Amino acid sequence: MSQNNNMESEQLLQEVTARAQVWLGEGYDQETREAVQAMLDNEDKTELIESFYRDLEFGTGGLRGIMGAGTNRMNIYTVGSATQGLANYLKKNFADMPLISVAIGHDCRNNSRKFAEISADIFSANGIKVYLFESLRPTPEVSFAIRELGCQAGINLTASHNPKEYNGYKAYWSDGAQVIAPHDTGIIDEVNKIASVAEIKFERNPELIEIIGEEMDKIYLDRIKTLSLSPDIIAKHHDIPIVYTPIHGTGVKLIPASLANFGFTNIIHVPEQDVVSGDFPTVVSPNPEEPAALDMAVKRAIETNAELVMASDPDADRIGIAVKNDKGEWVLVNGNQIVMLMLNYIMTTYQERGLIKGNEFIVKTIVTTETIKTIAERNNIKMYDCYTGFKWIAAIIRDLEGKERYIGGGEESYGFLAQDFVRDKDAVSAMSLMAEIAAWAKDRGMTMYQMIQDIYIKYGFSKEKGISVVRKGKQGAEEIQALMKAYRENPVKSLAGSPVTMVKDYQTLTATDANGNVTKLDMPCTSNVLQYFTAAGDKVSVRPSGTEPKIKFYIEVRGIPMATYADYDNANRLADEKIEAMKKDLCI
323, containing H or E segment: strand 319-324
Tell which phi-psi region holds residue 508, choosing left (phi > 0), alpha (psi between -120 and 50) or beta: alpha
Q: Using the CB atoms, write b or e for 493-528: b if 16+ within 10 Å.
A: eebbebebebbbbbeeeebbeeeeeeeeeebeeebb
What is the separation, in whole angstroms, between the first and last Cα of the chain? 29
Neighbours of 114 (CB within 10 A): 15
245 strand-pairing partners: 311
DSSP assignment of 223-289: HHHTT-S-HHHHHHTTT--EEEE-TTSTHHHHHHHHHHHHT---EEE-GGGSS--TT-TT-S---TT
Q: What is the CA radius of gyration of the chain?
A: 24
CA geometry: angle at 68 spanning 64 and 69, to 5°?
Answer: 115
- What are the residue numbers of the active site? 160
Rounded Cα distance between 122 and 433, Å, is: 38
Q: For strand 153-157 and strand 101-106, is the pairing parallel, antiparallel, or unpaired?
A: parallel
In angstroms, the Cα distances linking 185 to 60, 173, 250, 389 are 7, 13, 30, 17
Whether residue 151 contacts residue 145, with contact meaning beta carbons closer than 8 Å, is answered with yes
314 strand-pairing partners: none
Biggest CA pair distance of the chain:
76
